[in-house]
Structure 1
């Protein structure tokens, strides 16, 4: 009885201390998550370098981190800075009246006279939609301008978080295998289940960030490029917007380029409108079908509707990091239920059609 009481007391104390430590790290959730994600993606590079420099793990981890900074961190910072500057510039032009959005929307309505009847079929009023769209765009521009100011005021805090992320990434790259082994040893879920769950974490993190982000960046780059070639305003801004929207299946970059093509038709620029429409369908639209199976793989891909809802939910809950965290949580949810169905509902050991086998967490 005394031994059981001591054990339960210790477990309760362990849970309380763990919870307190988690709350302590809560302000650093974003840099910790991205440190783990980047370490997972770049670990194969570290392992290959370590084969050539087996006696220099610190140097190898540092070289891997420098590669990560050059390939990922610096380009993202440059694009984000240009995106914010361009967005704020357009917002200021709209505020000053240099860009008249109402006039441009009226041009679209006059060019497509059946648009009112189309919306009325769905019980929608075009004038109300126009007003909501204007308010939404102004709110988005105001939000971007406020955050640009806040980012400038909190530059020190931003770079402190970035430094913490890179610092932690170094140790996760160097000691990742030891930490995973320690985690498997500590968790009381059973080694096979832990291997499966950690493999799913690694798999979905790589697929979401390395695969989906490359696909989205490719679509956004191609979209921004055609906007620039056609002489459309703010090609970088719209390219970044297409990159972000390309993370959402079923909708994607067409939310930007399709209305732009319609606007060009409305203003009578038929050549540019046709080029943009054909390019959007044949080039931007096909990138997803060509690249995603290669970079992500059909076996590891979650159903599109789950990706859509988990990505949007992740963006709402966690901000920009939610595009990776949302699908990751959805994949872990499905993995837990697959384990439950396999071991408790179907204990005969017959795997369902979607049940993955245990894998190496750091496998390539």
Structure 2
């Protein structure tokens, strides 16, 4: 004889209290949610290697988790420190040369170019706003560059603060990661026990979260690295600091719609203004065909291959995620969309008879 479970009033009271308590706990950890989610993503990506370490050293989960966290620290921190130092060096060198070029009359010489003069004349005739005065433009540029040292000092202090925040977040992420790796099996077992779904539905839901979390990292960050590398190569070819501008293009790739054009388009215009037409055309073609294709082909391929979402859903999940959550929205957005799709498929299966009856009514 089978008995069916009946929800009584005391159960609703318990569920309501549990929801309130869970929300209160969320408010407590909300400032650190980014580090927790990062730890969760890194644990998914690193768990196969961690499992091999654990099997190699025997049943010592604490030691295995410590080794994994140390490895991750060396994999992330050392390359990041070297690259950041090179980026800062190239950036400071570029802006120093730009300041010297301006003081030596480079801007005046550029604006006296006949092609620039004819372009300004055309713009002044047709643009609806105030006339562009070359001499006034040079003065404003000189005034801005004269305050550049102060701006760089302020920027340096901000970068120092951001670096400090990054290390604090990274240490917190490592702390959470240690427990996620060590207690992986018990955490999964607990989740399966408390989620009121069948085992197949739990498997489907957890597998989808794991796949989409991995694909979001691959789709967004690997695409940014690929675009940064391709853009940096192009900047090196035209004689600009490759690592600095390549990194800027990698960051710009996270910006929806505009993307890397925020970096390469002004560079093309600069090359046109200085008379380097061949390099300008080459950079334009490379940026549109190669750098643009990476974003249009690689990102949807990496994300769609694991998550099963079409390109339109991927686009809005990334766009909405960035709008609501910032950079972490590149992970949150696809996860929210994919969970919704999985729940919708579960709904279709559970209510299949009802839905078929409605269709035939």
Contact kept, 8 Å, 1:38 with 1:169, in 2: the verdict is yes
The corresponding residue for 2:185 is: 177
Decide which of 4, 11, 15 is 1:7's aligned counterpart.
Answer: 11
Distance in 2 (CA, whole Å) between partners of 1:101 and 1:204 is 50
Distance in 2 (CA, whole Å) between partners of 1:280 and 1:245 is 13
The corresponding residue for 1:67 is: 71
If asked which structure has higher relative contact order (CA below 8 Å, sep 6+), I would say: 1
The verdict on how the C-alpha distance between 1:343 and 1:315 changes in structure 2, with shifts beyond 3 A counting, is same
The corresponding residue for 1:34 is: 38
1:321 maps to 2:328: yes
Equivalences, count? 333
For residues 77-106 of structure 1, give each alpha carbon's deviation from its aligned partner in whole angstroms, at most 9, with x where no partner exists: 554566578768878999999499999899
Matches for 1:203-214 after TM superposition, within 5 Å:
203-214=211-222
Alpha-carbon offset, residue 183 of structure 1: 0.8
The corresponding residue for 1:167 is: 175
Alpha-carbon offset, residue 24 of structure 1: 1.1
Contact kept, 8 Å, 2:87 with 2:243, in 1: the verdict is yes
The verdict on how the C-alpha distance between 1:210 and 1:54 changes in structure 2, with shifts beyond 3 A counting, is farther
Contact kept, 8 Å, 2:236 with 2:242, in 1: the verdict is yes
Larger Rg: 2
For residues 147-175 of structure 1, give each alpha carbon's deviation from its aligned partner in whole angstroms, at most 9, with x where no partner exists: 75345347655433321111111221222
Give TM-score scaled by structure 1 length: 0.72
Comparing 304-313 with 146-155, greater Cα deviation is found at 146-155
Unaligned ranges ≥5, structure 1: 129-133, 350-364
Distance in 2 (CA, whole Å) between partners of 1:214 and 1:253 is 15
Residue 260 of structure 1: SS of its match in structure 2?
Answer: helix
Alpha-carbon offset, residue 19 of structure 1: 1.8
What is the RMSD computed on CA atoms of the aligned residues? Answer: 4.3
Contact kept, 8 Å, 1:205 with 1:324, in 2: the verdict is yes
1:17 maps to 2:18: no
The corresponding residue for 2:272 is: 265
Distance in 2 (CA, whole Å) between partners of 1:330 and 1:305 is 11
Matches for 1:328-339 after TM superposition, within 5 Å:
328-339=335-346
Give TM-score scaled by structure 2 length: 0.72
Distance in 2 (CA, whole Å) between partners of 1:143 and 1:18 is 44
1:57 maps to 2:61: yes
The corresponding residue for 2:137 is: none
The structure carrying a bigger helix percent of its residues is: 2
Comparing 159-168 with 73-82, greater Cα deviation is found at 73-82
For residues 113-167 of structure 1, give each alpha carbon's deviation from its aligned partner in whole angstroms, at most 9, with x where no partner exists: 89969x98xxx87989xxxxx9xxx9xx999986753453476554333211111
For residues 250-305 of structure 1, give each alpha carbon's deviation from its aligned partner in whole angstroms, at most 9, with x where no partner exists: 65434432442243234310232233234334543444577557754535353333
Alpha-carbon offset, residue 223 of structure 1: 0.9
Distance in 2 (CA, whole Å) between partners of 1:19 and 1:145 is 42
Decide which of 280, 296, 300 is 2:287's aligned counterpart.
Answer: 280
